[in-house]
Amino acid sequence: MKIKRALSVFLATALTWSLIALPVLADPTLQEQRDAAQGEVNQLQEELVTLMTDMSRLSTQLIETGEQIIQTEKDLEAAEEDREEQRDLMMLRIRYMYENGSASAIERILSADSFAEMVNTAEYVQRVHQHDRDMLLQFVEMVNHIEELNTSLEENMATLHEKHDEYKEHVDTLNYIITTRSTEIENLDVQIAEAARIAEARRQEEIRLAAEAAAAEEAALAAAAEAANNNDVTQNVPEVPSPAPPPPLPPMNPGGNANTGEMIVAIARTAIGVPYEWGGQTMAGFDCSGLTMWAHAQVGISIPRNSEAQLAAGRPVPMGQQMPGDIAWTPGHVGIYAGGGMMIEAQMDGIPVGIFPVRVWEFVRFW
C-alpha cells in the first residue's frame, strides 16, 4: 500500500515539474519574420554606415574645392588689378614717347641729327611696343589660365554637389526603410510577446490542474493512510527572497558652461545674412561646418572642420538635455542650436545663414 501511494505521488509530482520546466515557445512563424526583418535592418545599417563614410569624404572634397574656388576668384581679382596697373603704365609710356609738344614719334625719328640716332630711336620705339605686346600676351595667358581653372573647379563642384544630393537622397531612403522595418520588428515583438503570454498562461493553467490532481491524489492516499493509522510528515521548504533590483543608473550629464554656449549663439547670430559658400569659414561666406567651427573659434574653442569629425569629437548630449550653443547634427550637415527648437545654420547654396527649425539626429557639445 505504501509503495503504491509513494508511486502515485511521485508520478503526479513528476508531471507537475515537467510542466514547470517546459519552455514557453512563441509562434515560430512570427519569430522567423522577426529574425528576417532584423537581418534586413542590420544589413541596411551596415550600408548606411558605409554611405555616411562616403558622404563625409565627399563633404571634405566639397570644402576643399570651395576653398580653391575662393582662392582662384581672389587670383582673378588680383589679375584684373594688375591689368589696370599695366594699362596705366603703358599709357604713361605712350604719352612719354608720342607727346613732345606737337611732334609725333615719326617726326622725332625723322628729326634725328644722324642716321645712327634715327635707327636707335626707331629701335627703341619698336622695343617698347614689343614689350607692351609681350606683357599683354602674358596677362591674357594668365587670365585665361585662371578662368579655365575656375571653370574646371566650378564643374567639379557641380559634380560633387550632384553626388552629395544623390548620397543624401540614398541616406533618406535607407533611413525610411530602416524606420519602417524597425516598426515592423516592434509590432512583431508585441505579437511574439502576446503569443508567449498566452502560451505561458496556458502552461500555468496546465500546471495548476496537474498540481490539483496531484494534491487530490495525495489527499486520497493520505486519507486512506490515516485510516490505517499511517501519518505522513511533510517538510516545508522556505522560499528564498528575490534580491532587490539594482538602483537605476543616473542620467548622462554632458556638463559644460552655459554662458559659453550663449556666447557661441550670440556670435553665430552676427553671421545671419552671410551668403552660403562651400569651403567658406569667414564672414565673406560660410558652409555649414565652417560656420560652427568659426563661431566656436571666436570663444577660443578649436573644433574639427567637417560635420562628421565634429560629431565624432564632441561630447554626446542626450535628447532633451540640449542647450543653446550645442551643435545639432544630421547626416552631412550641422548647425548651432539656438534654443526654442531653432538653430542657426548655413543651410545650402543660394540660402544665406539664418535661423531655422531644428532638424537633428544627435547633439554634441564642445564647451
Question: Which pLDDT does position 357 carry in this prediction?
Answer: 95
Better-predicted residue by pLDDT, 106 or 65:
65
Question: Which pLDDT does position 102 carry in this prediction?
Answer: 40
Digit-coded pLDDT (tens) for 26-41: 567 878 888 887 888 7
Predicted confidence band at 21 (pLDDT cuts at 50, 70, 90)? very low
Q: What is the DSSP string of 136-194?
A: HHHHHHHHHHHHHHHHHHHHHHHHHHHHHHHHHHHHHHHHHHHHHHHHHHHHHHHHHHH
If asked whether residues 192 and 311 sit together in one domain, one would say: no
Does any domain span residue 343?
yes
Asked whether the predicted pLDDT for residue 155 surpasses 90, the reply is no
Predicted confidence band at 3 (pLDDT cuts at 50, 70, 90)? very low
Does any domain span residue 218?
yes
Q: What is the DSSP string of 67-93?
A: HHHHHHHHHHHHHHHHHHHHHHHHHHH
If asked whether residues 152 and 60 sit together in one domain, one would say: yes
Range of weakest confidence among 185-194, 223-232, 238-247:
238-247
Cell numbers placing 117: 640716332
Does any domain span residue 238?
no
State the average pLDDT over residues 11-27: 50
Predicted confidence band at 145 (pLDDT cuts at 50, 70, 90)? confident
State the average pLDDT over residues 210-237: 69
Question: Which pLDDT does position 346 carry in this prediction?
Answer: 96
Helices (H), the chain: 2-21, 28-98, 105-110, 115-227, 258-269, 288-297, 307-313
Q: Cβ contacts of residue 2 below 8 Å, gap of 6+? A: 225, 230
CA distance 75 to 260: 38
If asked whether residues 202 and 329 sit together in one domain, one would say: no
Q: What integer best gives the mean pLDDT of the chain?
A: 77
Does any domain span residue 139?
yes
If asked whether residues 268 and 328 sit together in one domain, one would say: yes
State the average pLDDT over residues 148-152: 79
Domain CATH number, residue 126? 1.10.287
Helices (H) and strands (E) in the chain, counts: 7, 8
CA distance 318 to 252: 7
Question: Which pLDDT does position 7 carry in this prediction?
Answer: 46
Asked whether the predicted pLDDT for residue 193 surpasses 60, the reply is yes
CA distance 109 to 97: 11
Range of weakest confidence among 69-78, 151-160, 173-182:
173-182
Digit-coded pLDDT (tens) for 301-355: 999 999 999 999 999 999 999 999 999 999 989 999 999 999 999 999 899 999 9
Contact call for residues 266 and 298 (beta carbons, < 8 A): no
If asked whether residues 280 and 134 sit together in one domain, one would say: no
Does any domain span residue 8?
yes
State the average pLDDT over residues 172-188: 74
Does any domain span residue 249?
no
Domain CATH number, residue 277? 3.90.1720.10
State the average pLDDT over residues 139-159: 77
* Domain assignment of residue 62, given as a range: 2-226
Digit-coded pLDDT (tens) for 88-131: 776 666 665 555 444 455 666 566 677 676 667 667 667 766 77
State the average pLDDT over residues 254-262: 90
Question: Which pLDDT does position 180 carry in this prediction?
Answer: 75
Predicted confidence band at 134 (pLDDT cuts at 50, 70, 90)? confident
For residue 334, which of 347, 316, 321 has the smallest C-alpha distance? 347
If asked whether residues 135 and 194 sit together in one domain, one would say: yes
Of the chain, the percentage scoring pLDDT greater than 90 comes to 29
Asked whether the predicted pLDDT for residue 209 surpasses 90, the reply is no
Give helix 288-297 / helix 258-269 axis angle, nearest 10°. 120
If asked whether residues 133 and 267 sit together in one domain, one would say: no
